[in-house]
Amino acid sequence: MSSPFLSSQVDAFFESQHSLLFLASQSDFDFLLFFAFLSSSPLSTTTILLPLVTVIPNVEVAMLPKNIKLNPIANTCFLIIKLFRFISKIYREIDQSDVSENKIYLYSGLAFLIFPQLISQLSGESYEYYLQKNFYLPMGATTLGFKPKTKKYPNAIVPTEVDTIFRKDLIKGWVHDENAALMGGISGNAGLFGTARDLHIIMQMYQNYGIYDGHRYLSEATLKEFTKVQYPENGNRRGLGFDKPLLNNSGLPISEAYPAVDASMGSFGHSGFTGTFIWADSINQLVFIFLSNRVYPTRDNRNLYELNIRPQLHQLFYEDQREE
């Protein structure tokens, strides 16, 4: 049987195709059947049947007779097959990757690529549904989610980048990160969209160590463990999934600090590749959210980094707080 996670990835491709997709597992032969229906007119329906010999997630493409001409939906099915094969390869690479005995920091998103599948297996629900049911909807953070292009938000989402390398197109309303894009737009390392208001709700919950609006969503012990520096004796400054201030941050000039010089060592947050920045400081009771897009039209725009704009703007809010 296919997992909720894989089914949600398939849905990501088909929601914008005006088609229906059914996954049927036949245990006797261990294969999947894709049924894609494309309505070409109110009175006619073209049906395509693609048997795919597989033991999930190792999907192999079935051979089709040479005289069969694939229509756009069939081509989309083969894109789905490639998606499954990519995910399978990612999982194998993660499983075979070496884990160093030295507890030093290495920038890597491998673990975050497998978290959605792990959460789906443990909960029995798709990753996206699990997040919506247990966090975003109860908290009132209704814009937080994946694949905004399929959700018809009334406010336009600004374009991210003119991708000249990978997608050869303008990226708008779809995740910028290439790995997350190939995972169907739903991943643990990238792809979450939302408004500043709803990001504030999540960060406020983190800042309150798991509580928002009187309801506990995560344990205090979990938040404190994830937001503390791990292995500082090895020069690492980061937490588990969260960024932290430079270890000597308070003694640095603002041009070199990260984040703001006055941010407490207990503060935590995240800075995104495309220009986003969120930071929570429970000691100073300050949540800072900065949403920008430095990669439009190209990722060659680096002034946001080189001028250290985000920490400098962050610092202004601490100074304003002192003046009050």
Residue position matching structure tokens 């408004």? 195
Mean pLDDT of 94-122: 87
DSSP symbols for 158-183: PP-EEESSSS-EEE-SS--SHHHHHT
pLDDT surpasses 60 at 70 = no
The pLDDT of residue 298 is 95
pLDDT digits 0-9 by tens, 280-309: 999 999 999 999 999 999 999 999 999 999
In 11-32, which positions are buried (b, 16+ CB within 10 angstroms) versus exposed (e)? bbbbeeeebebebeeeeeeebb
pLDDT surpasses 80 at 232 = yes
> Who has greater pLDDT, 163 or 1?
163
Q: How crowded is residue 280: how many other Cβ atoms within 10 Å of its Cβ?
A: 26
Pairing of strands 286-290, 268-271: unpaired
Which residue type sits at 4?
Answer: P
The pLDDT of residue 318 is 97
Q: What average pLDDT does the structure give for the chain?
A: 80
Question: First vs last Cα of the chain: how many Å apart?
Answer: 60
3-state DSSP: the chain helix, strand, coil percent, rounded to 5?
Answer: 35, 20, 45
The pLDDT of residue 151 is 82
pTM beyond 0.95: the answer is no
Q: Could you tell me how many residues make up the chain?
A: 324
The pLDDT of residue 14 is 41
Please report which confidence band the pLDDT of residue 12 belongs to, taking 50, 70 and 90 as the band edges.
Answer: very low
